[in-house]
Amino acid sequence: MALSKTTTIDKIEVVGEFKTLLVKEITKITEDGNVVAEKLYRSSHQPDTDVSTLPADVQLVANVVWTQAIKDAYAESLEVE
Contact assessment for residue 19 and residue 9, using Cβ atoms and an 8 Å cutoff: no
Domain of residue 8 covers 3-80
Helix/strand/coil for 45:
strand
User: What does the pLDDT look like over 32-53, one tens digit per residue?
Assistant: 989 999 999 999 999 999 999 9
Query: In this predicted structure, what is the pLDDT of residue 81?
Result: 58
Q: Is 17 left (phi over 0), alpha (psi -120 to 50) or beta?
A: alpha
DSSP letter (8 states) at residue 33:
T
Predicted pLDDT at 1: 74
Instruction: State the average pLDDT over residues 3-27.
Output: 97
Mean pLDDT of 16-40: 96
Mean pLDDT of the chain: 95
Q: What pTM does this model have?
A: 0.85
| CA–CA distances in Å: residue 28 to residues 20, 25, 67, 69 | 26, 10, 34, 38
Domain count, the chain: 1
